[in-house]
Amino acid sequence: MIKNRGEMVLLYNIEEKQLQKKYQILCLRLGLRVKMVAKEQFKEPIGALAGARDVPFKGITYEGEAFEEPMMILKLYSNQKLDQFLSGIRKEGIPKIDLKAMLTEYNKGWDSFQLYEELKKEHEYMTGKTGESE
Whether 51 and 115 have beta carbons less than 8 Å apart is answered as no
Q: Is the pLDDT of residue 104 over 90?
A: yes
Rounded Cα distance between 73 and 46, Å, is: 8
pLDDT tens digit string along 12-50?
999 999 999 999 999 999 999 999 999 999 999 999 999
User: Are 30 and 88 in contact, with CB atoms under 8 Å apart?
Assistant: yes
d(CA 13, CA 37): 8
Confidence check: pLDDT of 100 > 60: yes
Q: Specify the pLDDT at position 4.
A: 35
Given strand 8-12, what is the order of strands in its sheet?
33-37, 8-12, 71-75, 99-102
Indicate if the pLDDT at residue 74 is higher than 90: yes
pLDDT reported for residue 127: 85
Name the burial class of residue 30, with classes exposed (0-12), middle (13-18) and buried (19+) by CB atoms within 10 angstroms of its CB: middle
pLDDT of residue 129: 74
Q: What span, in angstroms and rounded, lies between the C-alpha atoms of 11 and 46?
A: 11
